[in-house]
Amino acid sequence: MNSDVALYWFQEALKTAALLTAPLLIAALVVGLIVSLLQAITSIQEMTLSYVPKMAVVAIVLLMLGPWMMSILSDFTINVLQFIPSVSR
């Protein structure tokens, strides 16, 4: 295996990781922004108020997009496992 092949698989792993984490991070970012705005408007400075909605939204997004995430991850894993025999040639 040369460096081009290793770089390709590293890039694919990074793309897959970014694709899988993007919906969760975007949802947490949007909810965090909304909660921060509400805290600034109402002058409520409760620290736990920012964590609970984020955790709830991330859990909901995971439940909704879980099957899609698993199919992306399993496709990537299958591609990697199918490539392994060609490395030994």
Concatenated DSSP letters of the chain: --HHHHHHHHHHHHHHHHHHHHHHHHHHHHHHHHHHHHHHHHT---THHHHHHHHHHHHHHHHHHHHHHHHHHHHHHHHHHHHHHHH--
pLDDT of residue 2: 84
Residue 86 pLDDT > 90 = no
Domain limits, the chain? 3-87
Q: Express each pLDDT in 3-60 by its tens digit.
A: 888 899 999 999 999 999 999 999 999 999 999 999 889 888 787 788 899 999 999 9
pLDDT of residue 87: 81
